[in-house]
Chains A and B, each alone.
Chain A
Amino acid sequence: RKEVEQDPGPFNVPEGATVAFNCTYSNSASQSFFWYRQDCRKEPKLLMSVYSSGNEDGRFTAQLNRASQYISLLIRDSKLSDSATYLCVVVLNTGGFKTIFGAGTRLFVKA
């Protein structure tokens, strides 16, 4: 079983749609969680951290469910510029810190 799993997509949605991505992780030693965004042929960039209480940043909402070991990202009112690959990132604390990236979910927002 992969340590971090994401639906690879692609998700094809019209502008203005709401889209949700899920990510599951297998190691209960997972301590911190993030969503990164990677545009085509570019480097990954942090989109937002994910907190236990859930957090929102404009049109983006992230949730963490430790009991079920998954995190989610909700994008409301999708824009063309949201088209990218969204990477789920988990940091394990097993004595040292280890960062594990999911394979990413591709999103295409169409006019």
Chain B
Amino acid sequence: ETGVTQTPRHLVMGMTNKKSLKCEQHLGHNAMYWYKQSAKKPLELMFVYNFKEQTENNSVPSRFSPECPNSSHLFLHLHTLQPEDSALYLCASSQHSGSDYEQYFGPGTRLTVT
């Protein structure tokens, strides 16, 4: 399935590195999301964009910086991460950011911070 794609699929980075995660949706949706999934913990919503405008920042540390240049693309810029930031980062999209819309997830980027 290619509705929502994410690159890279795996990333290992040091604490002093800067890297970016990319998400692209081919569904014509207007809302995009970043989630963090750590082992044995629920998905944590990080950021929400609706029509390219950020509508939710769930108290995420500033070392995570999102960017949404258009409704189809979403980036997560990473810098000076900590080992506890190692997790699966999932991107999702939906028609709009309202309550009734199914979210379609990408395959995720598995991030390891060393």
* A31 in contact with B42 (CB, 8 Å): no
* A42 in contact with B107 (CB, 8 Å): yes
B43-58 contacts to A (CB < 8 Å)? 43-45, 55-56, 58
| Nearest-Cβ distance from residue A21 to partner chain B, whole angstroms | 15
Does A100 sit within 8 A of B, measured CB to CB? yes
The listed residue (A4, A43, A49, A103) touching B106 by CB distance below 8 A is: A43
| Nearest-Cβ distance from residue A10 to partner chain B, whole angstroms | 12
A contacts with B, residue count (CB < 8 A): 22
User: Which one of B12-20, B62-70, B79-87, B97-105 is at the A interface?
Assistant: B97-105
* A31 in contact with B102 (CB, 8 Å): no
B contacts with A, residue count (CB < 8 A): 23
Q: Is chain A's binding surface mostly helix, strand, loop or mixed?
A: strand
* Nearest-CB residue, chain B, relative to A34: B102
Does B21 sit within 8 A of A, measured CB to CB? no
| Nearest-Cβ distance from residue A22 to partner chain B, whole angstroms | 16
Q: What residues of B have a CB within 8 angstroms of the CB of A98 in the complex?
A: 45, 56, 58
Interface residues of B (CB under 8 A from A): 33, 35, 40-45, 55-56, 58, 90, 97-100, 102-108
